[in-house]
A and B are shown apart, each in its own frame.
Chain A
Amino acid sequence: MTNLVTRLGAATLEVLRVLGHHAALFAALLRACGTVIRRPYLVVAQVHAIGNLSVLIIVASGLAVGFVLALQLYYTLVRYGATDSLGLIVNLSLTRELGPVIAALLFAGRAGTSLTAEIGLMKAGEQLAALDMMALDPVERILAPRFLGGIIAMPVLAILFSTVGILAAYVLAVLLIGVDAGNFWSIMHSGVDAWRDVGNGLVKSFVFGLICTFVALYQGYEAEPTPKGVSEATTRGVVVASLATLIMDFVMTAIMFSTPGG
């Protein structure tokens, strides 16, 4: 009995410890961002590593999602003679939900893992400790540029995903199936609001970028400095980032789109 209570207490303290470490690293990152802005090249190099190199998978996934979405919607909508609304539905689902969320999941898998592994290996190879010995703050030198790079790259990737998805739906529905092009665009145009839908999608992708990058950096920074520790941290990073993205998406959707119409 006492054993159980002890374990409960230990588990609670462990949760508190993890939360505290998250908060401490986050505060340190925010502080370091100020100094990193004075050396923008560090950030630019990270935007290249995180963003540019992810463009291919984002565009390919956007194409696939756009095609599939348009095809499935067409099968159902054609029964009700409502295929003209296809563009609107594709656009709303992409800009509001799928664009930011799928881009964030891909981002966690493509860029997040490499961040975790990179930093975990730097820690295992005692490179972070070496920086510390030279009176260089590893958070400022290594983590903060990657953090900023991820935050900048993620919204761009989400926009690319949505844009490519809509164009893919256009190609499939209008060019291949023969939905009327004028109605495809005009119904989409009148049903999508630039601020409410596109703007909120952009806010979402920004938040997801922050979450995914931070989780990846945290897992790498706190990884056990062994090969097994780094591999576990990488796995944990993807799982935590994906779940956090999905939960946060639900919360933000509930807040942003709680009033229908607007």
Chain B
Amino acid sequence: MGRKGVETLVGVFVLLGMLGLLFLALKAANLSGIGGGDTYSLTAYFDNIGGLKVRAPVRSAGVTVGRVASIALDSKRYQGAVRLEIDRAVQFPSDSSARILTSGLLGDQYIGIEPGAQEKNYAPGDEIRQTQSAVVLENLISQFLFSKAADAGTPSAATPASGPKK
């Protein structure tokens, strides 16, 4: 085999590898989900973001319309600042609200957007004012215990860790 032949074969080999990498990166992994030029960003502040992660989906009516781009703690408000990258084709009224929801019983957390009724839409970079934090299981249980204790009329309900003994 001549020098040209070997070079062609090696070219085919490396090209195959590049195609495989492209397949793994685009088809089999979520590289294409973010970073395209056709998105705009909104910011939402939450008291508690729970287990929300960067790249988590943003959904409206269950349809994925964007992704979480970054999560940081706002040191002035002591709230979690979540930046959302939303598909430019999808516009929301400027009184839409954002909630942190869980898909399924044990699934990952995502952001659900409930559209409002305003004529005006959110402009890129706007802040979503109405937000609802993630449900934290410990808070839910302690609320439940507190209300149980209040119902029972026991004054020693301030120690929920030991639990009301009945």
Interface residues, chain A, CB within 8 Å of chain B?
41, 44-45, 47-48, 51-52, 55, 91, 95, 152-153, 155-157, 159-160, 162-163, 166, 185, 188-190, 192-195, 197-198, 202, 261-262
Number of cross-chain contacts by CB at 8 Å: 80
Complex Cα distance A198/B30, Å? 10
Question: A159 touches which one: B6, B17, B29 (CB < 8 A)?
Answer: B17
Contact A52 B10 (CB under 8 A): yes
Contact size class for B? 20 to 34
The yes or no answer to B31 lying at the interface (CB within 8 A) is: yes
Return chain B residues, CB-CB under 8 Å to A160: 16-17, 20
Contact (Cβ within 8 A) B17 A156: yes
List 3 tightest A-B contacts by C-beta distance, closest first: A156-B17, A194-B31, A163-B20
Contacts A51-B13, A155-B17, A194-B29 hold; do A163 and B24 have CB atoms under 8 A apart? yes
- Residues of A close to B3: CB separation below 8 A: 41
Mask of B18-32 contacts with A, CB within 8 angstroms, 1/0: 001101111111110
Query: A52 touching B28 by the CB < 8 A rule?
Result: no
Are A44 and B20 within 8 A (Cβ)? Answer: no
Q: Is A45 within 8 A of B6, CB to CB? A: yes
Q: Tell me the complex Cα distance, A95–B13, Å.
A: 19
Q: Considering the chains assembled together, what is the distance between the CA atoms of A18 and B154 in angstroms?
A: 77
How far is A195 from B29 in the complex, measured between Cα atoms in Å? 9
Enumerate chain B interface residues (CB-CB to A < 8 A).
3, 6-7, 9-10, 12-14, 16-17, 20-21, 23-31, 53, 55, 57
**A197 cross-chain contacts in B, Cβ below 8 A:** 29
A-B contact pairs, 27 of them (CB 8 A): A41-B3, A41-B7, A44-B6, A45-B6, A48-B9, A51-B10, A91-B28, A91-B29, A95-B24, A95-B29, A156-B13, A156-B20, A157-B17, A159-B20, A159-B21, A160-B16, A163-B23, A189-B27, A189-B28, A189-B29, A192-B30, A193-B29, A194-B26, A194-B29, A195-B31, A198-B28, A202-B21
Report the minimal beta-carbon distance from B57 to chain A, rounded to whole angstroms.
7
Given A52-B10, A202-B21, decide whether A190 and B28 contact each other with a Cβ distance below 8 A: no
